[in-house]
């Protein structure tokens, strides 16, 4: 489980109801490894959500997200966390991305972050929302906040990488922020009905 994602999701969703708590898988007695075998972010988010729902029979929020680079035909895509190998670190993934784009001109380094967010609330019953943010891949990492590809994801309108933004600023404009704000409305409606 990516602790950076969990922190962002908690900040974006907040508390829909006073008794509702968003738990990280590491806070639950769940030791199974969930294989992300989907061909899309949505498929992977559903795989994760369904696995946890099946175990605990509680509503689950899950996401799958990643970086897609135009010049690399959408890669790393669903392989974003494993771009440089199965147990790759953020630094290794970033290094590989820089290497693959070393001879690519700035105007051809367009990229987007994509997030598929899922609220899985009953057997085969779920709501799905997506969010995207567009940018350019920088030649070198900049900034120390964020995680993953944030230091390389440059936002021309801000003149900064995602890793140079404050958390509140990033959550306001990010792919995850967009997806989970949309999903939050559905979660609120669900709890009004239940």
Closest residue by Cα to residue 181 from 43, 7, 9, 20 = 9
Quick check: is 64 catalytic?
A: yes
Length of the chain: 194
24, 63, 64, 145: the active-site residue: 64
How far is C-alpha 49 from the chain's CA centre? Answer: 14
Positive or negative, the CA dihedral 72, 170, 107, 105 is negative
- Lateral strand order in the sheet of 160-161: 60-69, 110-122, 125-137, 153-155, 160-161
The residues that are catalytic are 64
């Amino acid at each position: 489980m990516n602790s950076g994602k969990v922190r962002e999701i908690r900040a974006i969703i907040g508390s829909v109801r006073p008794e509702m708590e968003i738990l990280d898988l590491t806070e639950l007695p769940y030791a199974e490894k969930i294989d992300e075998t989907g061909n899309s972010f949505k498929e992977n988010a559903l795989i994760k959500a369904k696995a946890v729902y099946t175990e605990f029979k509680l509503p689950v929020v899950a996401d799958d997200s990643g970086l897609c680079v135009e010049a690399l035909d959408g890669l790393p895509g669903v392989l974003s966390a494993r771009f440089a190998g199965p147990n790759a670190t953020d630094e290794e993934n970033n290094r590989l991305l820089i290497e693959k784009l070393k001879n690519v001109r700035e105007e051809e380094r367009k990229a987007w972050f994509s997030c598929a967010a899922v609220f899985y609330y009953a057997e085969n019953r779920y709501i799905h929302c997506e969010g995207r943010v567009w940018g350019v891949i920088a030649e070198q990492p900049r900034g120390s906040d964020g995680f993953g590809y944030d230091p390389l994801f440059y936002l021309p309108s801000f003149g900064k990488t995602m890793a140079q933004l404050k958390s509140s600023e990033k959550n306001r404009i990010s792919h995850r922020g967009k997806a989970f704000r949309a999903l939050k409305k559905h979660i609120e409606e669900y709890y009004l009905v239940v």
